[in-house]
Amino acid sequence: MASASALAAGKVVMAGILLQCAAIVVETGGQEKRVTLFYRWMAGCAGGLMLGPALAAPQWTVSKPYPDKPLQVASLDGEATVGRSRFPAMLELACRADSPPLRMSLHVSDQLGGWDVRPFEGPGGLGERRKLKLGMAGLRRGTDSHFAGWYEADGRFVFEWPSQGEFFAWQSSTHKELLVTIDGASRKHGKLEARFTLPPSSQAALAVALPCMGKK
């Protein structure tokens, strides 16, 4: 599933192209020019339709938060659901080659339609006794991990756990949606499930993760 921001960007680009083409046709007189510009309009609109999906496709974003330190981070936008409510989510892979293992983290709003994140915060949080599940839609395989939880400065909540990067081997042309599932603090809260559509190429994320994979 593409991120909402990427889809919005694609729509804005296509709308801009359509408006520009329409303006050219309206403002230009002469039958011959109209015919020529009509074909240019068709070509431009077709280009916009092809460009839109490309902009909307999910992509790993790689960053180095501290230029003088070896920490590298790859992030991917997705969506979290609680019941029928939907919220933006972000998945991060973080690797510091001199301090493995690879760390994965799920970043979500602390306002999840009544799903309480507070019992998962800090030392003694529920993640020390419970496990979240990382899996791939359509596949039975997956991993379970204890996890930590804390608030970011901007108010978002973070669930973090160690990883060996197993999900890279799970991805295929038919299995490309990564799932993170966390049971609520109580049964009435249900499950928090985050979904991330993996890009066709995982090279950028794999380059970040490799120095920490297979290390503890």
| Residue spans per domain, the chain | 4-56, 61-212
Cα separation of 31 and 48, whole Å?
Answer: 25
CA dihedral 174, 177, 180, 183 (to 10 degrees): -80
Q: Which two tokens stand for residue 61?
A: 């974003």
Q: Which two tokens stand for residue 151?
A: 């608030």
CB 177 within 8 A of CB 194: no
Q: 44-59 pLDDT, tens per residue?
A: 555 544 444 444 678 9
Asked if pLDDT for residue 32 goes beyond 80, the answer is: no
Q: 185-214 pLDDT, tens per residue?
A: 988 889 999 999 999 888 999 999 999 987
- In the prediction, which pLDDT does 57 show? 75
16 Cβ contact partners less than 8 Å away, ≥ 6 residues apart: none
For residue 66, give the DSSP letter: S
**Residue that has been written with the tokens 């339609």 in this structure:** 113
- In the prediction, which pLDDT does 95 show? 97
Name the pLDDT band for 1 (thresholds 50, 70, 90).
very low
- 19 phi-psi bin (left φ>0, alpha ψ -120 to 50, beta other): alpha
Ranked by mean pLDDT, which of 18-22, 108-112, 161-165 comes out on top? 161-165
Q: 138-191 pLDDT, tens per residue?
A: 888 899 999 999 999 998 999 999 999 988 998 887 788 999 999 999 888 899
CATH of domain 61-212: 2.60.40
The model's pTM: 0.74
